[in-house]
């Protein structure tokens, strides 16, 4: 393989992924995930959109300061406000990239930017030139490239290369393209754009028609050498190209693509679970590569084939993506070393203090549960990734259920608040979970609308832990939370406290509503809307 056979993996979980409803992360959580991404072997980490809000700025700055190994990148619009700010946020990164963008399609030019082709072209060039004053690694994205007139797209790309862009990105912003069309667009650009052989061609696909991964692979087949993607495919609407899928697609079908990435694929599964824990969501069981059923074979005929030779039905080995096949079970007599070994075998890298905290939670669980399975350990680790930054803490909880007439399910909760004071509240509801959420909302003075609630069993047996994932809207913003407990009502309460904490810490909702757009003409998008 030579340089041209290497595909750069550009991860935008912390920017495009984080922008989607229910996926917001605190700065500490972004930092934790950024370390995981660097350990996974991601080449570029897009840590945020520094000008979007003070919190985005802080997140980019902290990742730039503390995460080594990968190039750290910030998104910026092509203007004099965003670019210097992004450069400042990135200033302490060992390797940094400025990623500037402007929409080029007729529909965006007319309705969002109110700009002519000439104005867009001029802004793109000026943006890249300004970015080059701060950084030698500059990526330019033509937002909605796929719906841009081909000759105009080629003109813009030639001009930004001339202005100093080192990567040119071709986003399918609305998830509209197909593999054939993507192949044609990249091939045409390679023929028509002057200087294109000196830069990296990149692709950034959304999944509205379910083709983000296929379109990204088609772009690679046509000569793109950077793929922008997110863990678990999180992102606006139907999401972005899923990192684990595109990476395993390139690896498993290297006979077709003839390229490689620097990803350590054995870390894909732990990274996926870590993200799910951080944003408080489940990975669907049938999700390719990292879902619970991705390597499960139920049908008798499949099982028969698998026993004869795994390759009859298995194109990848679970261990290649970090799924462990151990049947080892831990229990209350297992010590620190056994736990630490298991954690390592499961592919997680925990610091000494994290291991110590995990051991305490493990002992507590092992007292309540005879056998502790791998899934329990993963859930305990995930619990440690959750949102414990406060300001609210759940101290105690009591519920009653009822059936028949006359009595309503009820709950009493005790919380510790931002000032350290205990608050107790009670409520009745349709069921014990409803009553708990209402009592917690009352205690914190919050109005909420529950959007979704899912509960599942983490492992087997009647003493299995329950995992709850809740999504709720508070003050117009959607938040997710996740909780695990052997009692499912308590799991829901833990998930809801994460939501309440995220909402009470979120300055973004206010910033988004009050911050004026620094740039005349551009969309009044500051923080939450997609570029």
Tell me the window of 54-62, 165-173, 187-195, 432-440 that interacts with ligand KIV (CB under 6 A): 165-173
Answer yes or no whether residue 148 interacts with ligand KIV by CB under 6 A. Answer: no
CA distance 449 to 380: 28
Tell me the window of 15-23, 158-166, 358-366, 421-429 that interacts with Zn ion (CB under 5 A): 15-23
Answer yes or no whether residue 147 interacts with ligand KIV by CB under 6 A. Answer: no
Does an H or E element contain 481, and which? Answer: strand 477-485
Question: Which of Zn ion, ligand KIV, none does residue 183 bind to, with CB < 5 to 8 Å depending on kind?
Answer: none
Q: Cβ of 257: how many Cβ atoms within 10 Å?
A: 16
Using the minimum distance from each CB to ligand KIV, give the nearer residue, 74 or 471.
74
CA distance 242 to 308: 32
Q: Which of 325, 356, 318, 327 is nearest to 340 (CA)?
A: 356
Residues 6-45 that bind ligand KIV (CB under 6 A): 16
**C-beta of 13: minimal distance to Zn ion in Å?**
12
Answer yes or no whether residue 48 interacts with ligand KIV by CB under 6 A. Answer: no
* Token pair for 177: 């393209």
CA distance 322 to 316: 11
The angle subtended at Cα 190 by Cα 185 and Cα 193, nearest 5°, is 100
Question: Which of Zn ion, ligand KIV, none does residue 143 bind to, with CB < 5 to 8 Å depending on kind?
Answer: ligand KIV
Tell me the window of 166-174, 300-308, 416-424, 433-441 that interacts with ligand KIV (CB under 6 A): 166-174
Answer yes or no whether residue 141 interacts with ligand KIV by CB under 6 A. Answer: yes
**C-beta of 299: minimal distance to ligand KIV in Å?**
39
Instruction: Output b/e per residue, 443-469; b: 16+ Cβ within 10 A.
Output: bbebebebeebebeebbeeeebbbbbb
Q: Cβ of 309: how many Cβ atoms within 10 Å?
A: 9
CA distance 314 to 297: 9
Answer yes or no whether residue 171 interacts with ligand KIV by CB under 6 A. Answer: yes
What is residue 160's three-state secondary structure? helix
Residues 173-212 that bind ligand KIV (CB under 6 A): 173, 204, 206
| Cis status, amide bond into 391, omega within 30 of 0 | yes
Q: Looking at 143, 374, 376, 498, which residue binds ligand KIV (CB under 6 A)? A: 143
**C-beta of 170: minimal distance to ligand KIV in Å?**
9
CA distance 447 to 440: 10
Tell me the window of 168-176, 288-296, 395-403, 442-450 that interacts with ligand KIV (CB under 6 A): 168-176
Using the minimum distance from each CB to Zn ion, give the nearer residue, 103 or 489.
103
Answer yes or no whether residue 139 interacts with Zn ion by CB under 5 A. Answer: no
CA distance 519 to 127: 13
**C-beta of 46: minimal distance to ligand KIV in Å?**
9
Q: Which of 177, 182, 232 is nearest to 206 (CA)?
A: 177
**C-beta of 128: minimal distance to Zn ion in Å?**
19
Tell me the window of 148-156, 167-175, 213-221, 301-309 that interacts with ligand KIV (CB under 6 A): 167-175
Answer yes or no whether residue 16 interacts with Zn ion by CB under 5 A. Answer: yes
Name, in order, each residue with C-beta under 8 angstroms of 495's C-beta and a sequence gap of 6 or more: 280, 468, 469, 470, 481, 482, 483
What is residue 517's three-state secondary structure? coil
CA distance 501 to 496: 9
* Token pair for 75: 């998104």
* Token pair for 323: 């799924």
Answer yes or no whether residue 101 interacts with ligand KIV by CB under 6 A. Answer: yes
Answer yes or no whether residue 127 interacts with ligand KIV by CB under 6 A. Answer: no
Using the minimum distance from each CB to ligand KIV, give the nearer residue, 20 or 173.
173
Q: Looking at 17, 386, 466, 531, which residue binds ligand KIV (CB under 6 A)? A: 531
Question: Which of Zn ion, ligand KIV, none does residue 522 bind to, with CB < 5 to 8 Å depending on kind?
Answer: none
Maximum Cα–Cα distance for the chain, whole Å? 78
Q: Footprint of ligand KIV on this chain (CB under 6 A)?
A: 16, 75, 101, 141, 143, 169, 171, 173, 204, 206, 531
Q: Footprint of Zn ion on this chain (CB under 5 A)?
A: 16
């Amino acid at each position: 393989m030579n340089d041209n056979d290497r595909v750069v993996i550009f991860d935008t979980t912390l920017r495009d992924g984080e922008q989607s409803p229910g996926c917001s992360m605190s700065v500490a959580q972004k930092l934790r995930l950024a370390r995981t991404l660097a350990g996974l072997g991601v080449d570029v980490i897009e840590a945020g959109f520094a000008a979007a809000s003070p919190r985005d700025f802080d997140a980019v700055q902290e990742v730039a300061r503390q995460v080594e190994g990968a190039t750290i990148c910030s998104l910026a619009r092509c203007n004099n406000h965003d670019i210097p700010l992004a450069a400042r946020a990135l200033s302490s990164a060992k390797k940094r990239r400025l990623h500037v963008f402007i929409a080029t399609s007729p529909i965006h030019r007319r309705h969002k930017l109110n700009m002519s082709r000439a104005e867009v072209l001029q802004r793109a060039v000026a943006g890249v030139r300004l970015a080059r004053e701060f950084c030698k690694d500059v990526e330019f994205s033509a937002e909605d490239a796929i719906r841009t007139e081909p000759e105009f797209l080629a003109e813009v790309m030639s001009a930004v290369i001339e202005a100093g862009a080192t990567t040119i990105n071709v986003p399918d912003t609305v998830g509209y393209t197909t593999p054939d069309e993507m192949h044609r667009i990249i091939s045409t650009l390679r023929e028509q754009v002057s200087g294109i052989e000196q830069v990296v061609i990149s692709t950034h696909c959304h999944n509205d028609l379910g083709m983000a991964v296929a379109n990204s692979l088609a772009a690679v087949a046509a000569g793109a050498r950077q793929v922008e993607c997110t863990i678990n495919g999180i992102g606006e609407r139907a999401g972005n190209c899923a990192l684990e899928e595109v990476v395993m697609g390139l690896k498993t079908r290297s006979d077709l693509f003839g390229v490689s990435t620097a990803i350590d694929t054995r870390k894909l599964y732990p990274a996926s679970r870590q993200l799910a824990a951080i944003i408080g969501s489940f990975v669907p069981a049938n999700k390719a590569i990292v879902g619970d059923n991705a390597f499960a074979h139920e049908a008798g005929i499949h099982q028969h084939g698998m026993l004869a030779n795994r390759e009859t039905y298995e194109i990848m080995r679970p261990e290649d993506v970090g799924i462990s096949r151990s049947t080892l079970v831990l229990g209350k007599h297992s010590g620190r070393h056994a736990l630490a070994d298991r954690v390592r075998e499961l592919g997680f890298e925990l610091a000494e203090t994290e291991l110590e905290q995990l051991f305490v939670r493990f002992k507590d669980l092992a007292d309540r549960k005879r056998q502790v399975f791998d899934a329990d350990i993963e859930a305990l680790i995930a619990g440690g990734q959750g949102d414990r930054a406060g300001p609210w803490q759940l101290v105690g909880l009591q519920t009653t259920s009822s059936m028949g007439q006359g009595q309503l399910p009820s709950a009493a909760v005790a919380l510790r608040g931002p000032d350290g004071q205990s608050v107790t509240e009670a409520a009745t509801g349709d069921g014990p979970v409803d009553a708990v959420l209402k009592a917690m909302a009352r205690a914190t003075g919050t109005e909420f609308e529950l959007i979704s609630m899912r509960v599942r069993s983490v492992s087997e047996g009647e003493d299995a832990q329950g995992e709850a994932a809740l999504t709720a809207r508070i003050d117009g913003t959607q938040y997710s939370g996740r909780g695990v407990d052997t009692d499912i009502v308590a799991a829901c309460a833990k998930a809801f406290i994460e939501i309440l904490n995220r909402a009470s810490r979120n300055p973004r909702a206010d910033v988004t509503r009050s911050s004026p757009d620094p740039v005349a003409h551009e969309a009044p998008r500051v923080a939450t809307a997609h570029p």
